[in-house]
């Protein structure tokens, strides 16, 4: 039986203080006033749900973390 995974995303545009999250099923969250504390809270919230970071990309004013958790 193949293992299955769910993915989530945390995206941060720090120069405009914007933070966006996308959870499994496409549930999207947005926050203006995104800060280091907001990023840590978002990553910590996903971590508490069993997700772990599998990748991070960045360019200019933008960082994007990809997270996943095994579901089967």
**The domain that contains 26 carries what CATH number?**
3.30.1410.10
Name the DSSP class of 61. Answer: T
Each residue's pLDDT tens digit, 24-71: 999 999 987 788 899 999 999 999 999 999 999 999 999 999 999 999
Q: DSSP labels for 5-57?
A: EEEEEEEEEGGGTEEEEE-GGG-EEEEES--HHHHHHHHHHHHHTT-EEEEEE
| CA pair distance 29, 31, nearest whole angstrom | 7
Query: What pLDDT is attached to residue 55?
Result: 98
Overall number of domains in the chain: 1
pTM of the model: 0.90
Token pair recorded at residue 29: 């969250």
């Amino acid at each position: 039986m193949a293992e299955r995974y769910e993915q989530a995303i945390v995206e941060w545009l720090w120069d405009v203080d914007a933070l966006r999250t996308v959870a499994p099923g496409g549930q999207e969250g947005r926050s203006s006033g995104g800060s280091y504390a907001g990023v840590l809270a978002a990553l910590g919230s996903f971590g508490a749900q069993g997700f772990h970071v599998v990748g991070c990309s960045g360019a200019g004013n933008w960082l994007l973390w990809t997270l996943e958790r095994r579901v089967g």
